[in-house]
Chain A
Amino acid sequence: MMLTKKAGRFSKIRQSILVAAFLFGSASLVAAQDELTAGEMLKAAMQSMEAKRYDDAINWMYQYIGEVEESVAPRVMAIAQDIRFKLASLLLEEDRMDEAAAVLQDYIDTPLAEKPRQAMKMLATCYYDTEAYEECASTVTNALYYDEHPVLIAESYVADEDSDNYEKVKAEPEPSFTQIELNTLYMTLAESYYNLKQWEDCIAPYSYVIEHTDVEQRKGYAIMQVINALIEIPSFDRIMEWVPQLYRTSARYDIRVNLALMNAAAALYDAGEYDSALPLYRMILPRDVLVAYQEERVREMRIAAGLPPDEGAEMTADELLLFGGDEPVEGADVAADAAVEAEKKPKELRELEALIEALKNLPPYELDIQYRMAELYNTVERYWEALKYYDSVYTADPASELGERCIYELVDMLLESLDEIGVAETRSYEHMAKFKEGMTPRQLAYMLTGYYQQNEIMPRIKTLKPYIDEFVRTNDSIVVRYDSELYFMQAVSDLVLQDYEASEQSFKYVLDEFPGSHQEANSLYWYSMSQLFLQKYAEAYPNFQRYVTEFPQEQYVDECYFQGGICLFGQELYDDAEERFTFVIENFPDSSVYPEARSMRGDIYGSKAMLDEAIIDYDEAFAAAQNINQATYATFQMAEVYEAEQKYDDIIRVVDRYKDTWKEQADIAKAIYWIGKSQIQQKHFDEAVTAYLDAIVAYGGDLRQDGVDQMITELVKISAVYLNDLQRETLVTELQNAEAVADSETLELRLRVLLAKLQETELELGKELLASLETLDNASPPVLATICDASFEMEDYSRSEELLRIFINKFEDSHFMRAAYKLRGYGQFEEKDYEGALATINDAQALYGTEFDVAWAQLLKAEVLLAEGQIDEARDANMSVLTVTSWRGVPVAQATYQLGEVEEAAGNLEKAFAFYQRTYFQYKGHARGYWAAESYLASAEVLKKMGGRENDVRNTYRAMLFDPYVNTLPQAEVAREYLGKPEVADIEAYIETGGKTNFVITVEAPLTVGSKVSSEETSDSGMPSEEPATEESE
């Protein structure tokens, strides 16, 4: 049907051509045709052909065929067929495809065609060149069928009708298609199907070509087309069987194949067919390689066509000899040469040159291909390969969009997929230092920040700050968003690093620099929290209030109300705080701060002695607790209240409930501690000791069980207060047995410390541990504290920083940490790191306030200030010690002595003397006479400085030697030396007789604190009237 239809079309064409020939043809032709016979027309056609007047020849042939078309005479028919074939050949030569197709169709359809195969082949070419693909496919199919099943009617027909012409017709039958012709036909068929988008149909003919052609280019092209068809079907799983074949052909150097490879690879990539896309991408050759290869081919083709190897170049004599060539034409100009050359260029050469030109005009594609490959490797988790390609693209063009994408992907992969933080940092820092504009440096900083956060390496976040500060700021909303986020994260890192002063400033920076940013609400909250951590309650409160006013829908509203309450509490505005916590309790019953608000209000009620109300709140807090900390706090606060009320059964009840509710999450050791404590109060000492001992052994191996450490303290107290010698011995034995079988170093160390505390050998143990422990990883707080105490005693501050860091990092809530602060503070003072020492002191005081065993902090502060020459501040610091009730005793003695030092440094020698004298008068019993002894010596020195008081100096030393609290101390040797042996011998002899002294040195000086020291303050014996205080008496 197809052929008939087509034939019809071309019949019309032919008729119209004939008509045209008649109407518009040369007058001679028109005139002649009436006169010429068919034979003459044929002769005219042949003559025109010989004369290379092809148009005339064609016209004569048309006329001849028209003349004899109706003839059935075999001879005439045979000649007409021969002319048709010739005519078709001429038309093809003249590129008149439509006409050629019509003539060929007639030729094929008419009997006595000698070359039907050739005709069909030519017809297929006509159809293909005119893009009549359906007709082309039919023609080729017919041709191939005919080749297998040739029709031999012509021969028999001629033999029957006209035996005279038998010989001519009986000429050699047309040979079958050669393999090359078959390849061409199959290729034409495949291409037709391809152009018709009959993807599945085209694969078989392409496959035929691939299997049979020896031309690698053609084979490669066919494979590529098969791959394209399979992509279109789509049938990705069949693609891989073709790719290796393509690899092995030189078609890889074909420009069209490379362009097709790009498209095919991209299509496969987009379809997620990575395994298929990868080898295709790999095969795509760089443009330079491709151009060089094809230009070499052009040279070869030019040589084959008899042209100079290079266009426009004149051939050398050697080249002429080698490659041949036309003789140079005298006077021929360049344009004419070019025209001649263009004329001589084969079609294939022209096409190839055009392709090379097109390739050269393409934008660079190599980096894009490499980027795609990197993406592809990344997608299939071949990270190292991806890294290589990203790096390659980035290195080639770091400033381009592609380069920026690559550095982003590269860093992302190094962080997320390869965990190569070091390399990621190096690459990011390099880029950020060089490129300070746009998104990419910000994205890198953001990624690194995220990584540091996720991996809890917060200090590294701060290393990004210098780079972020250098970024060029713009008004671009995304850039601003990134900047605000980056600075916000900087502030968060300050916060996490507990550098609250820095975080306060950093969050303020975000609020000031990026008003209205997406992090404004969060920044405000954490800005307020930073102030809260700094105990700047008054400053934090309005900021929390601002949050709830400006961001009532944001996530921290309930928190802000609650933290506002904490601020009020911190300002000791308890009624307001109570009101605020009540507000939170009533308005946010589902909030995470609800249990905490309950506990806080419970604490307020507790402080107001409203114990029942407190218990209700704690009970509610426990019931609503969303995490173990909230439950733990509420439970043990209840225990505290019940302890105050001596309701030990209730303690046991709430602690048991706590254990039952929170099971393995519960702080069991602490629970046992409280139960044990209750048992002690109920006089169940044995049970309490057993419970503690069992719990220490059971949980002592866990470093984080601070309840065990509390039990150690408690057990020491029980032993000292409630146990008899036998019970104490039994306890020690049991502990020793437990230590012998301890299965962890942590437990063993805890047991050793407990034993040392019971046996009062802590100092020795501390020294031993200091020398023997290679690592402190398994040391719990009491062990660390023992080591701290021993170090302090030995004035060995070498590990002070490490010890404090361990506490801060691992046991920040431990009450044993104060020993580490003390060691560290004195260590810094020793190193003259006064700023550091003051910071340590501030931290310790922030944590422990004026607890009795933290007086050292205030005393050291005074010492540091004095060392820094801050006289007034040092005086104030010492004075403040005297006002704290819990610091009565040794701290006051030391403070008084230190006040003497302050005044001495200020040049107020009389005042200094007065403080020293007061120290040895009033506090000689403290610290085993240490401060008194120091004061005697200091007094003597002050007197020496005053001058002219040699007798007073000697009397001071004499008094020191008569003073039983100090005369055996090492400091007394100074006095002995000064006085000389004879007098010292007299004094000792006098003391042996029971004699007392009445040496009183009087120096008038006003004292700012305490009573005036004068000679009146003496007893009958000449000693101060007030009995000196002793540690024991206090």
Chain B
Amino acid sequence: MKRIILGLIAMSAAVVFAQDEVTQSGTPAVLEAVNGKKIKVFLQSMEGENLTFQPFKSTKNITVPASKINSLEFFPKYDVEGVNTAFVQGDFPNVIEVLEPVMSELVDYMPIENNMREPFVMLYNCYRFNGDYEKAEDYATRFLTCGDEELEMKGKAGLALVAIQKEDFETAEKYQQELAEQSEAAGLYLKAAIERAKEEPKQAMQTVTVIIKDHSNDQEWLPASELLAAYCYLDMTGTNSVITTNSAMNTARQVKNMYAGSAVAADAEKLWVSLGGPEIEALAEAERAERAAALKAEKERIAAEEKAEKEAAAAEKAAEKAAAEAAKAAKAAAASGVSTTETESE
């Protein structure tokens, strides 16, 4: 069956390219079959497990099971770099404005491996950060159907995070438990997020420390966990007078620096700025400069003193030498019976 379908795809393509140019509609893409063959297609629809497309220059709809397709390559027309920059800068409305029309056309095809999954996840994050939980939930639900473990985890985490925002802790905990079986770090992150939402920042913080300690190289969950730690510290300033905003500010600063260029870092930077981080840093820098200047001045003073001492010693030595020579000369003059006065007059 597989062979027949692949053959069909290949044959269709061959037929299509042999035909005259036709006007086609649909989503342009390059389809790579599981045998590695690639064809240009116009995607028509994705219904259930089946993908319907028209080969390039053909108006004939061909429907194949998604399992027979290795990947799709889309050619969206948007400023990828601009969107990425906007995202890491936390400009979520802008990202949504650009990506939403793009993804609305592609979203149905996401269950098949493709080159637009990153923006797909990005858009979910934008909806969530922007407070549009309905859409975020919709996207996160779609992640679950993509047959990709990493995406599935993101979907569960996404649904849990949306549930937390809605204070639906039962749902959040359900996903958290499922996720914990797939990734301990992910499970712990959600556990901490739930604890924080339940206004138990100390408990949340202790959970986060497990992630930091035991998953210190988990690039997927560690940055978010550390950012969560910053917020937990901030929460604690309200409940525990011992913890000051310094803890939150320092954590935010470290997250900002360590994960520079990521959305997490952008968020951390916002927090850091809101806590007066730049001012404190500037102050510390000024103090450092002042100390350095003082140190330099002190060194110069010591050097000048040493120089003066050396010069004085040298002068003293020279004077001693001169005196000794004068004495010697006087002695010699006396020995020769000529007085100094006489010598001078000569």
**A residues adjacent to B (C-beta < 8 A):** 240-241, 243-244, 247-248, 252, 274-276, 278-279, 282-283, 380-385, 387-389, 392, 417-419
Contact partner of A385 (CB less than 8 A), chosen from B209, B219, B246, B253, is B209
A274 to B202, CA, bound (A): 24
Contact residues in A for B253 (Cβ distance below 8 Å): 275
Contact partner of B213 (CB less than 8 A), chosen from A244, A279, A389, is A389
A387 to B208, CA, bound (A): 12
Chain A min CB distance to B105 (Å): 32
- Mostly, the A contact residues are helix
Cβ contacts A to B, 29 pairs, < 8 Å: A241-B260, A243-B258, A244-B259, A244-B261, A247-B217, A275-B257, A276-B257, A278-B258, A282-B216, A283-B217, A380-B251, A380-B254, A381-B244, A381-B250, A382-B229, A382-B247, A384-B205, A384-B206, A384-B209, A384-B229, A385-B209, A385-B213, A388-B210, A388-B212, A388-B213, A392-B213, A417-B243, A418-B240, A419-B241
A240, B257: Cβ atoms closer than 8 Å = yes
A409 to B294, CA, bound (A): 34
B229, A385: Cβ atoms closer than 8 Å = yes
B242 within 8 A of A: yes
Chain B min CB distance to A613 (Å): 53
Contact residues in B for A283 (Cβ distance below 8 Å): 217
Contact residues in B for A418 (Cβ distance below 8 Å): 240, 242-243
A347 to B202, CA, bound (A): 54
A385, B254: Cβ atoms closer than 8 Å = no
Contact residues in B for A387 (Cβ distance below 8 Å): 209
Across the two chains, which residue of chain B brings its CB closest to A247? B219
A244 to B250, CA, bound (A): 19
Contact residues in B for A417 (Cβ distance below 8 Å): 242-243
Contact partner of A381 (CB less than 8 A), chosen from B209, B210, B247, B258, is B247
A275, B242: Cβ atoms closer than 8 Å = no
Chain A min CB distance to B251 (Å): 6
Contact residues in A for B257 (Cβ distance below 8 Å): 240, 275-276
Q: Mark B222-249, 1 if CB is under 8 A from A, else 0.
A: 0000000100010000001111101100
Across the two chains, which residue of chain A brings its CB closest to B204? A384
Contact residues in B for A389 (Cβ distance below 8 Å): 213
A240 to B258, CA, bound (A): 7
Chain B min CB distance to A563 (Å): 39
A-B interface pairs (CB < 8 A), number = 66
Contact residues in A for B216 (Cβ distance below 8 Å): 282
A388 to B216, CA, bound (A): 13
Across the two chains, which residue of chain A brings its CB closest to B256? A275
A385 to B205, CA, bound (A): 8
A383 to B242, CA, bound (A): 11
Q: Mark B53-85, 1 if CB is under 8 A from A, else 0.
A: 000000000000000000000000000000000
Across the two chains, which residue of chain A brings its CB closest to B240? A419
A388 to B208, CA, bound (A): 10
4 extra A-B contacts, CB within 8 A, seeds A278-B258, A382-B254, A388-B213 = A283-B217, A384-B208, A384-B229, A392-B213
A247 to B205, CA, bound (A): 25
Chain A min CB distance to B336 (Å): 60
A243 to B260, CA, bound (A): 10
Contact residues in B for A275 (Cβ distance below 8 Å): 253-254, 257-258
Chain B min CB distance to A463 (Å): 22
Chain A min CB distance to B282 (Å): 14
A380 to B242, CA, bound (A): 15
Chain B min CB distance to A365 (Å): 15
Contact partner of B212 (CB less than 8 A), chosen from A247, A252, A276, A385, is A385
A252 to B219, CA, bound (A): 14
Contact residues in A for B210 (Cβ distance below 8 Å): 388
Contact residues in B for A381 (Cβ distance below 8 Å): 244, 246-247, 250
Chain A min CB distance to B20 (Å): 44
- Report B189-212 residues with CB < 8 Å from chain A CB: 202, 205-206, 208-210, 212
A383 to B205, CA, bound (A): 10
Contact residues in A for B233 (Cβ distance below 8 Å): 382
A493 to B241, CA, bound (A): 27
A847 to B148, CA, bound (A): 83
A385 to B250, CA, bound (A): 12
Most chain B beta-carbon contacts within 10 A, residue among A248, A274, A385: A385
Contact partner of A419 (CB less than 8 A), chosen from B242, B246, B254, B260, is B242
Across the two chains, which residue of chain A brings its CB closest to B232? A384
Chain B min CB distance to A249 (Å): 12
Chain B min CB distance to A290 (Å): 13
- Report B238-285 residues with CB < 8 Å from chain A CB: 240-244, 246-247, 250-251, 253-254, 257-261
Evaluate whether A382 and B260 lie within 8 angstroms (CB atoms) in the complex, with A388-B213, A419-B242 already known: no
A747 to B333, CA, bound (A): 110
Contact residues in B for A380 (Cβ distance below 8 Å): 250-251, 254
A247 to B262, CA, bound (A): 14
Contact residues in A for B217 (Cβ distance below 8 Å): 247, 252, 282-283
A604 to B260, CA, bound (A): 78
Contact residues in A for B212 (Cβ distance below 8 Å): 385, 388
- Report B81-134 residues with CB < 8 Å from chain A CB: none
Evaluate whether A383 and B247 lie within 8 angstroms (CB atoms) in the complex, with A388-B212, A389-B213, A418-B242 already known: yes
Across the two chains, which residue of chain A brings its CB closest to B250? A380
Contact residues in A for B208 (Cβ distance below 8 Å): 384
A381 to B251, CA, bound (A): 8
Chain A min CB distance to B250 (Å): 4
A278 to B251, CA, bound (A): 11
A252 to B233, CA, bound (A): 31
Contact residues in A for B219 (Cβ distance below 8 Å): 247-248
Evaluate whether A279 and B258 lie within 8 angstroms (CB atoms) in the complex, with A384-B205, A388-B210, A388-B212 already known: yes
Across the two chains, which residue of chain A brings its CB closest to B212? A385
A278, B213: Cβ atoms closer than 8 Å = no
A419 to B209, CA, bound (A): 18
Contact residues in B for A385 (Cβ distance below 8 Å): 209, 212-213, 229
Across the two chains, which residue of chain B brings its CB closest to A240? B257
A278 to B208, CA, bound (A): 16
Across the two chains, which residue of chain A brings its CB closest to B246? A381
Chain B min CB distance to A70 (Å): 61
Chain A min CB distance to B43 (Å): 33
A762 to B241, CA, bound (A): 45
Chain B min CB distance to A48 (Å): 52
Q: Which 10 A-B pairs have the closest CB atoms?
A: A388-B209, A419-B242, A380-B250, A282-B216, A381-B247, A384-B205, A275-B257, A381-B246, A388-B213, A240-B257
Contact partner of A244 (CB less than 8 A), chosen from B206, B241, B251, B258, is B258
Chain B min CB distance to A414 (Å): 10
Chain B min CB distance to A368 (Å): 16
Chain A min CB distance to B196 (Å): 13
Chain B min CB distance to A12 (Å): 46
Contact residues in A for B254 (Cβ distance below 8 Å): 274-275, 278, 380, 382
A380 to B257, CA, bound (A): 14
Across the two chains, which residue of chain A brings its CB closest to B219? A247
Contact residues in B for A244 (Cβ distance below 8 Å): 258-261
Chain A min CB distance to B302 (Å): 24
A813 to B91, CA, bound (A): 67
Most chain A beta-carbon contacts within 10 A, residue among B210, B247, B259: B247
Most chain B beta-carbon contacts within 10 A, residue among A382, A385, A418: A382
A387 to B242, CA, bound (A): 15
Chain B min CB distance to A770 (Å): 37
Chain B min CB distance to A245 (Å): 11
Contact residues in A for B209 (Cβ distance below 8 Å): 384-385, 387-388
Across the two chains, which residue of chain A brings its CB closest to B213? A388
Chain B min CB distance to A240 (Å): 5
Contact residues in B for A384 (Cβ distance below 8 Å): 202, 205-206, 208-209, 229
Contact residues in A for B244 (Cβ distance below 8 Å): 381
Across the two chains, which residue of chain A brings its CB closest to B201? A384
A247 to B260, CA, bound (A): 13
A315 to B281, CA, bound (A): 62
Contact partner of A383 (CB less than 8 A), chosen from B243, B258, B259, is B243
Chain A min CB distance to B19 (Å): 42
